């Protein structure tokens, strides 16, 4: 059951460990960004199958590119190469689908897992068409988050596929587009997959560190972060010769580099049997609970003062928004916060939320007096 202020959605999910036949956790789906040739596919797969941690071989058959003229995938012909990979290596195969023709072609060629990409999950019409094409089919489906940070769109896509009868269902966190400058290709915005996990704990969530990072050197950091967030596995791009790749060359690993990455990741436990540890953890969490209650009380008091300020501004015919005051407040609070070890990004975000609520309270006060 998914619940928050805006939605209540019931999903029927078969836990990953119930249907993942090789029981490899974390689940790893790996392979090139694009299927470029049969030789490239087989050469990559032959190396990847040596890594006992990999369950699925992935490759893009159809590539949704921003502008025409870029490499847009081989199409149906490459599905025969996927069959060759499956027959020779024994690896199950996975690819992206964006419409009903893709679904039908994949099912005809024995593809084992389908995923819906970020450019498709953003469009409910496209997702519904795919869902309709999957009715009566028993196949695992993964849904990547939409390009934009919209949790409802992500959940809605999962719901549509689930209502088609697909209960071998996963979500994939691949980051979100942003105009802000960042070391990442797509902003991780970890709070969104965390919220999805909290409101829908039975949906497995994989991480796509390749698309979040955009460059090879950041993939290990993102991968470890995903495991620390208790995610269930990865979809990682790996190519036999990344420098020659026809798409996303900078974010693909060699099979050897992927093996090293997976070998060096630290898989932490969600729970432990150590009673002393659990007691200490409970004590620390009790401190956090007390502090959270105190913070809530302080915020309530702050908003009560904001309402009084609204009344005074109305009485003196002064505008609600005072830009100079806001700029000074930001500068002062950020300086104090960073001195106390808080990140500027966190503090700026928190202050924006507090200021937004303060403005809302003052506006309500003014409107009530005008009635």
Q: What does the pLDDT average to over 336-365?
A: 88
Identical fold between 2-264 and 275-370:
no
Q: Where are the chain's structural domains?
A: 2-264, 275-370
pTM given for the model: 0.77
Q: Which CATH number fits domain 275-370: 3.30.1180.20, 1.20.59.10, 1.10.8.80, 3.40.50.720?
A: 1.20.59.10
* Element holding 173 (H helix, E strand): strand 169-173
| pLDDT per residue as tens digits for the range 60-92 | 999 876 777 777 789 999 999 999 999 999 999
Average pLDDT, the chain: 89
Q: What does the pLDDT average to over 226-233?
A: 92
Alpha-helical runs (H) found in the chain? 16-19, 38-48, 76-89, 100-108, 118-121, 124-133, 151-163, 191-199, 209-213, 219-228, 255-264, 275-315, 323-339, 344-370
- The CATH class for the domain spanning 2-264 reads alpha beta
Tokens of 324: 């100079």
Q: Find residue 143's DSSP bridge partners.
A: 116, 171
Q: Find residue 28's DSSP bridge partners.
A: 234
| pLDDT per residue as tens digits for the range 116-166 | 999 999 999 999 999 999 999 999 999 999 999 999 999 999 999 999 999
């Amino acid at each position: 059951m998914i619940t928050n202020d805006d939605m209540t959605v019931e999903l029927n999910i078969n836990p990953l460990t119930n249907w993942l036949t090789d029981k490899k956790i974390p689940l790893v789906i790996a392979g090139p960004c694009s299927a470029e040739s049969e030789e490239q596919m087989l050469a990559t797969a032959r190396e990847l199958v040596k890594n006992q941690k990999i369950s699925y071989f992935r490759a893009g058959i159809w590539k949704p590119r921003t502008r025409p003229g870029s490499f847009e995938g081989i199409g149906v012909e490459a599905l025969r190469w996927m069959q060759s990979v499956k027959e020779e290596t024994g690896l199950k195969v996975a690819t992206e689908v964006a419409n009903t023709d893709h679904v039908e072609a994949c099912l005809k060629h024995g593809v084992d897992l389908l995923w819906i990409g970020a450019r498709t999950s953003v469009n409910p019409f496209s997702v519904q068409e795919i869902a309709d094409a999957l009715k009566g089919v028993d196949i695992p489906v993964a849904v990547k988050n939409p390009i934009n940070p919209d949790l409802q769109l992500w959940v809605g896509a999962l719901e549509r596929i689930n209502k088609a009868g697909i209960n071998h269902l996963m979500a994939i966190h691949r980051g979100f587009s942003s105009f802000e400058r960042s070391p990442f290709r797509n902003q991780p915005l970890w709070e969104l997959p965390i919220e999805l996990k909290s409101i829908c704990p039975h949906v497995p969530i994989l991480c796509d560190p390749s698309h979040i990072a955009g460059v090879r050197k950041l993939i290990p950091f993102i991968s470890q972060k995903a495991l620390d967030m208790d995610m269930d596995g990865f979809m990682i791009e790996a190519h036999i010769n990344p420098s020659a790749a026809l798409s996303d060359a900078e974010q693909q690993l060699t099979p050897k580099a992927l093996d090293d990455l997976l070998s060096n990741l630290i898989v932490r436990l969600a729970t432990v049997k150590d009673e002393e540890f659990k007691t200490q953890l409970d004590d620390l969490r009790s401190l956090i609970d007390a502090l959270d209650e105190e913070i809530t009380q302080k915020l309530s008091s702050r908003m009560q003062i904001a309402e009084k300020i609204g009344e005074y501004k109305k009485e003196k015919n002064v505008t609600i928004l005072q830009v100079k005051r806001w700029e000074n407040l930001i500068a002062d609070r950020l300086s104090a916060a960073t001195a106390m070890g808080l990140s500027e990004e966190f503090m700026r975000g928190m202050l924006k939320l507090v200021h937004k609520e303060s403005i809302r309270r003052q506006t309500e006060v003014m409107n009530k007096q005008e009635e």
